[in-house]
Amino acid sequence: METIVSINDAVNSFVWGWPAIILIFGVGIYLTIRLKGIQFRNIGFQIRETYVKTFKDAKKGSKEAGEGEISSFQAAMASVSAVVGSGNIAGVATAIVAGGPGALFWMLVAAIIGMATKYGEIALGMKYREKADDGTYVSGPMYYIAKGLKAPWLGKIVAVLFIFFSIVISAVVDTNTMSQALNETFGLNPIVAGAIFAVLTGIVIFGGIKRIGEVCGLLSPFMAGAYLICGLLIIILHIGQVPAAIGLIVSAAFNPTAALGGAAGYGIMTAIRYGMARGIFSNEAGIGSASVTHASAKVNEPGEQAIWGPLEVFVDTCVVCLITGLTIVLSGLWNGGDEGVGLTMAAFQKMLPGNWGQYVVLCASILFGFSCLITYYNYLEKGWLALFGKVMHAKVSKVIVRVIWLVFIMVGSYSTLGFVWDLADTCNGIIIIPNLIALAVLAGQVVKIKEDYWNKHLPLYKEEKAAKKK
């Protein structure tokens, strides 16, 4: 095991070195410029075309137009369920422990430029989606790389990476986080917890993408809302300490040694590396995974679904991760020996009045983690179909991947905390390289998708807004 850990550490040192950091920043900034700062402009229009439009359609009983399997909102919530997971609770904690409070700053920076990146991923995923033998829709970086770059061989490689990525990021890490939370709180044997999660996940995933979309449409708003309310309550109750906490986060991002009083092991590269790695783990901007779930949406044009991308990253990292990180820094427990979900539980327990803070995190980690288990299964399934879809019937493939998924949930329940997070960093670091290169090369297509949709709908929004002012 020590040999495996050493090899993984060596790989991580390479994939999260300066070349990878430059690639992430470079492509994100390039897309931001090409998309005319999409994450900063016409925010009201983007909210109107996503959340407001969804609730209006639901109130009127409107049916979605276009080909697909689930509604635009269900696809977005399934994607949100994948990103709002263990990364928001345990991932933020591991980033701060490993990289210092400054890691939270770099997590937010990566998210801001990642908003444009995720828009591009969903846009390309929608453009290059295909209909499988069983009538379901498939897409993802393996498809737009194979077809957009005209490199089927690279698409196959990405499909293989996607399979490993899905298993490690969710089946192993999310199950590990939930099992650790239950063990910390109730002393429940991790193997027993793993078996319970495997059964519950099997009930959902055997119902297909429609059931996944329905469950996530119910879980996502509730789970995020409850956690955010408690996190905001902590900030309000300790508002006088917030400026100092923010000051520590910013100063530790650029000069960790001075900010933390010479604490051993923290340097600016460490803060950037863990902040960006765990930030990408959380919001998945740069990985291309969101395009897999969004491809099932019933919409008329790619730009209609891609507009969810920037908002998805904002909610995940600039809201949920920020609240978690601030709570941990405010608690002062980040260098006390705890890590992962145990640290977040301890921070909420300390900062909330009464004796219920740990239960808030416990419930959130289970809801977040379980939603990831059912949505990441979809990633595994689509990666498998991209690899074996031409030689194996879709229904047979799905039975195989469902069994694989449930087996690795059991494996994840009893894995070692530090190693599973390092392995997750490795998977993310490898898969972002071909995906970011593809986004840079296909940026012109992303811009066209964006302009086609915005030129058609933005003027109508501005006219409506002007009419309301009169």
What percent of the chain stands above pLDDT 70? Answer: 87
**Confidence class of residue 217 from pLDDT cuts 50, 70 and 90?**
low
The pLDDT value recorded for residue 78 is 65
The pLDDT value recorded for residue 122 is 96
At 107, list the tokens: 């997590």
Nearest to 97 by CA among 361, 418, 424: 418
Are the C-beta atoms of 365 and 173 separated by less than 8 Å?
Answer: no
Report whether pLDDT(249) > 90: yes
Are the C-beta atoms of 350 and 331 separated by less than 8 Å?
Answer: yes
CA distance 415 to 53: 43
CA distance 142 to 153: 10
Which one-letter amino acid corresponds to residue 98?
A: A
At 169, list the tokens: 């990021």
Mean pLDDT, the chain, as a whole number?
85
CA distance 423 to 429: 10
Helix (H) or strand (E) holding 100: none
Report whether pLDDT(17) > 80: no
The pLDDT value recorded for residue 357 is 83
**Confidence class of residue 412 from pLDDT cuts 50, 70 and 90?**
confident
Provide the Cα torsion 20, 24, 26, 30; round to 10°: 150
Report whether pLDDT(339) > 70: yes
CA distance 115 to 230: 26
Report whether pLDDT(29) > 90: yes
**Residues paired with residue 67 on neighbouring β-strands, in sequence order:** 299
CA distance 200 to 174: 14
CA distance 100 to 95: 7
**pTM: predicted TM-score of the whole model, two decimal places:** 0.88
User: Which is more confident, 210 or 355?
Assistant: 355
User: Which is more confident, 442 or 216?
Assistant: 442
Beta-carbon count within 10 A of 313 CB: 28
**Residues paired with residue 137 on neighbouring β-strands, in sequence order:** 131
Report whether pLDDT(208) > 70: no
Q: Please give the domain boundaries of the chain with CATH numbers for all domains.
A: 2-469 (1.20.1740.10)
The pLDDT value recorded for residue 253 is 92
The pLDDT value recorded for residue 219 is 59
Q: Tell me the CA distances in angstroms from 351 to 165, 242, 245, 357, one per residue in order.
A: 35, 13, 14, 8
CA distance 118 to 309: 5
The model's pLDDT over 69-95, given as tens digits with 9 standing for 90+, comes to: 777 777 766 666 666 666 788 889 989
Q: Is 112 helix (H, G, I), strand (E, B) or coil?
A: helix
**Confidence class of residue 426 from pLDDT cuts 50, 70 and 90?**
confident
The model's pLDDT over 351-397, given as tens digits with 9 standing for 90+, comes to: 998 878 888 888 888 877 888 888 788 889 888 888 887 777 767 88
At 238, list the tokens: 């300790």
Q: Tell me the CA distances in angstroms from 467 to 44, 453, 460, 463, 464, one per residue in order.
A: 15, 22, 11, 6, 5
User: Which is more confident, 111 or 15?
Assistant: 111
CA distance 151 to 91: 34
User: Which is more confident, 93 or 466?
Assistant: 93
Phi (first) and psi of residue 84, to 5 degrees: -85, 90
At 68, list the tokens: 């697909």
CA distance 254 to 297: 42
Q: How far apart are the first and last CA of the chain?
A: 70
Report whether pLDDT(220) > 60: no
The model's pLDDT over 271-327, given as tens digits with 9 standing for 90+, comes to: 888 898 888 878 888 999 889 989 888 888 999 999 999 998 998 899 989 999 999
CA dihedral (286, 450, 148, 301) positive or negative: positive
Lowest mean pLDDT among 94-108, 199-213, 343-357: 199-213
Q: Is 67 helix (H, G, I), strand (E, B) or coil?
A: strand
